[in-house]
Each structure stands twice: as structure tokens, then as C-alpha cells.
Structure 1
């Protein structure tokens, strides 16, 4: 029998309705050279408000990660919430998988919406993209907030046992779950108090809707993030930066927050 109801698709529809009620509209922009970017943008841009860009991490599309925060923020900011390349309705035919390329795509999107100056908040993978934006476009970013973004990680950290996973392939199998058991592993890794007892039918539904499209490309994003990464190669940034971290974070351990603080303090001094 064909499945007639999808909890995940219904929740996605509710998020779309919610974002629309927050005063945002869904816009898809062709950046050229095979790259399409989707973004939630203010229905009415107000020059009197500062601009705020919210960049999501790995998981579903941007709405699922930012829905609980957008409502209070729209009262004070012109809020922009993009889907990164290979998430939501954003994609590219270009082969580049680096966070540097993601940053260029997001800035191209902001150019298309005539946003010159902005404040950026990036969570997890989105923090990598936000940091890259700060290094590539220093005159455009006024302030940066990094939430649990392990931009200071090094390739050798995994071999040294810093992470719960031992290999990049193991990380991929959890961050891009294809079975209910891997989905449960992701929940245990992502939440201090994960929901227990979720039936496999719900987990399979989420996987079908959110985790199957662009699997190969997302896997390549994770691989590019880790490969040959060294702290000495991390560019310097000068923008005022706020670091927010969970002390029990199992994806990017708290030590990476302290490492990032030391790196930024040296930079600003």
C-alpha cells in the first residue's frame, strides 16, 4: 500500500507556514554557473534594522534548525535564512565541496538581495561557513556568532580520540543516517536528553524525506571539512566574535571551543 501520510513532510509544511507568519518569504535565486540558492528573506526589508543571517548545520533544511528562534529575531533584525548548497532547495553542478565555496554562494545570495552589511550566526557546519565568510569578506560582516562550530579541529584530532567516532566514514554513517538504528545514534549524539522509543516508521519517514537526496554530495562536504585540516592554516578574523557551546557537546567537544577562543584572542591581540 502506498504511504498516504508523512509526518516529516507535514512538519516541513508547518515550518513553511510558520516562517511565512514571521514575515518572511521563500525565494529561490539562480547564481549562475549551475548554482541555485534558496533563502527565506524579509517580506519587507527595513533600512532602520540591522541585517541578520542565520546559517544552519547538517541535518534537515534551514527551517528545522531555526524555527524556534526566528520569531523574536524578526522584531529587531532583517532576518535571512538560507539553505546551504545540497540542503533544502539549494544545489549546484559545480564540483567544489569546501566551506569556502559554500561561503561564496551565501554571499552571492546576499548580493542578489542587495544586502551589503550583515551579522552572521552559524551553528555547527554553518559556523564553518560563517567563519569562511568572515575571512573572505571581512568588510561585509559586522559581527559573528559561532555555535558549537569546530572550526579549530585538525585532521589528527580524530586519530587522537577526541571524537565519539573513529573515522570519517563512521561520522558520515551517523550524520547522514540511512537506517533507523543510525538515526537513533544521531539522536543520542546530538541531544543531551534524546527522545526515546521513537518507532522505526517515524525514523524511516524522516530518512526518506530528509536524508536520501544529495547523499553523495553531502558525504563529500563532510570529507572536505576534515581532509588535511590544520589549525596553523586557519585564517585570522578581526570581527567581534561570540562563541556559544554546549558543555556536553558530543559532536564537537568543548575543548574545540577553548581552542577557538585561544586562537581568536591571539588574533585580536
Structure 2
């Protein structure tokens, strides 16, 4: 008998309703050359407020990753929450799979909405995109938060055993789970205390709703991140940067956060959250939001 109820779809509806209730609306922007970007944007842009861009990582869509932080910041910021290319409702016919291209798409979308300066929060892969935006548009990105984002990884790190997976293909099979067992594995990698005993039909439902679109394109995104990557090639940024890391992150080990702080230098500060893994924004939301508030709201008062 066909299923008539999807827990994942229902949860997604709840997040969508919460975004509407927070004063945001769902908008798609045609950037040309076969690229469409979707973003949650303020129903009414308030010119007296600063702008805050929230960039998601791999996993469930942007609403699931930023549902909790949104309600803490939409009163003081014009909040923008995009879907990156090949996530949610965003896509492209172009062949570029770099974070540089993703960053250009996000900035083009923001400028189409009349936003030319912003602070930015990037989680995991979203941090790669956010870092690239800070490099390419230094006058437009005021402050940057990078959460468990392995921007400083190198291709040789995989060979040298920094990661707990044997190779890149194993990593992609976990980050893009297509079976309940792979999703359980992703949960074990992402959380210090993953939920146990989740029935397979719940996991299958999540995969069918969240993990079956643009699978090959997302694999290419992951492969492109690592290919020929060297720390010596990573440009420096000068914006005030908060780096947040789960102490027990098994996807991007803490060593990468420490490496990133050294690479950026004096303008960066690393905060390590104990008893948290890669999904620190979901596992320790109160601590995560506390650090965001101190860093981002301080930017308002120091500039006023």
C-alpha cells in the first residue's frame, strides 16, 4: 500500500510556515545562462537594518539548518537564506562546480535584491562559499562566521589519514546517503550522540524527500572541493571572522579549525563547543546562537 503520510514533508511544511511567519517570502531569481537561484528574503526590506546572509551546507535544505537561528535574528537584521546551486529550488545548466561559482551566484542573487553589504554565516560547505564571497567581494562582506567548515583542508589530507573515511568516494556516499544504513552512518559522523533506533522507513522517507535531487551534481561539488586543493593557494581575508567548531567533529576535524584560525590571523577567533560534532548548529543550538549573537550584534553596536 502506498504511503499517504511523509514525516519529512510535514516537517518541511512546518519550517516553510515558520519562515513565512518570521516575515520572509520565497523568491526565485533568474541569473541568466541557465542559472536559477531560490532565496528566502524579507517581505519588506528595512533600510535601517543591517543585512545577514545565512548559507547552508550539505544535508537537509536551508530551512532545516537555519530554522532555529532565524527567529533570533530576523528582528534586528534583514535576513536572507538562499538555496545554493543544486539544493532546494536552485540549479544551473552550467558545468562549473566550484565554490567560486557558487559564491558568484549568491552575490548576483543578493545584488538582484538590492543588497550590496552584508554579514554572513556559512555552515560546513556553506563556509567554503562564504569564504569565497569574502575573498571576491571584500567591500561587500562585513563580518564572517564559519561553522565547521574545512576551508583549509588540502588534497593530501585524505592520503595522510586526517579524515576517518578511506577515500573521496566513501566520503560522498556518506554525505549523500541513498540508503538507511548510509544515513545512519552520516548521523554517527555528524553527532556526538546521534538518535538511536530510528526506524528504516523514517530514514527512507527522509532520503526520498531530501536526498534524491541532483545527486551526481552534488557529488561533483564534493569532488571539486578537494581536487588539487593546497593551503598555500588559499587567499587571505581581512574581515572579522568567527570560527565555530564542534570539539568532536568527525567530518572536518578540529585541526582544520585551528589551521583556519592561523591562516586568517589576527582578525579571526576560534570558538570550540564541547560535546558537539559536525552538526554543532543542531546538536548545541543554544551555544551556537549565543556565539552568533555576541559576534554579530557587536558588529551593529560597534558601527553605530
Q: How big is the shift at 1:2? A: 1.9
CA distance in 1, matches of 2:61, 2:34: 20
Q: Which residue of 2 aligns with 1:257?
A: 257
Instruction: List aligned pairs for 1:151-190, cutoff 5 A.
Output: 151-190=151-190
CA distance in 2, matches of 1:178, 1:109: 31
Give the CA RMSD over aligned residues.
1.0
Cα deviation code 1:80-127 (max 9, x no counterpart)? 000000000000000000000000000010011000100011010000
Q: Which residue of 2 aligns with 1:39?
A: 39
Instruction: List aligned pairs for 1:94-243, cutoff 5 A.
Output: 94-243=94-243
Q: How big is the shift at 1:147? A: 0.6
SS in 1 for 2:246: coil
Cα deviation code 1:60-89 (max 9, x no counterpart)? 210010001100100111000000000000
Cα deviation code 1:3-41 (max 9, x no counterpart)? 211111111111000100111111011111000000000
SS in 2 for 1:85: coil
Q: Which residue of 2 aligns with 1:76?
A: 76
Number of residue pairs aligned between Structure 1 and Structure 2: 268
Q: How big is the shift at 1:164? A: 1.1
Cα deviation code 1:162-214 (max 9, x no counterpart)? 11111110001000001100000000001111000000000001111111110
Structure 2: give runs of 5+ residues left out of the alignment. Answer: 269-304
SS in 1 for 2:142: strand
CA contact (8 A) 2:82 2:106 kept: yes
CA contact (8 A) 1:236 1:267 kept: no
Q: How big is the shift at 1:267? A: 8.2
Q: How big is the shift at 1:238? A: 1.1
CA distance in 2, matches of 1:193, 1:12: 23
Q: Which residue of 1 aligns with 2:20?
A: 20
Structure 1: give runs of 5+ residues left out of the alignment. Answer: none
CA distance in 1, matches of 2:114, 2:47: 12
CA contact (8 A) 1:168 1:223 kept: yes
Q: Report the TM-score, using the length of structure 2 for normalisation.
A: 0.87
Is the aligned partner of 1:67 residue 2:67? yes
Q: Which residue of 2 aligns with 1:86?
A: 86
CA contact (8 A) 2:239 2:267 kept: no
Cα deviation code 1:105-164 (max 9, x no counterpart)? 000100110001000110100000000000111111111111111100000001111111
Cα gap change, 1:104 to 1:6, in 2 (>3 Å): same
Which 4+ runs in 1 deviate beyond 2 A?
none
Q: Report the TM-score, using the length of structure 1 for normalisation.
A: 0.98
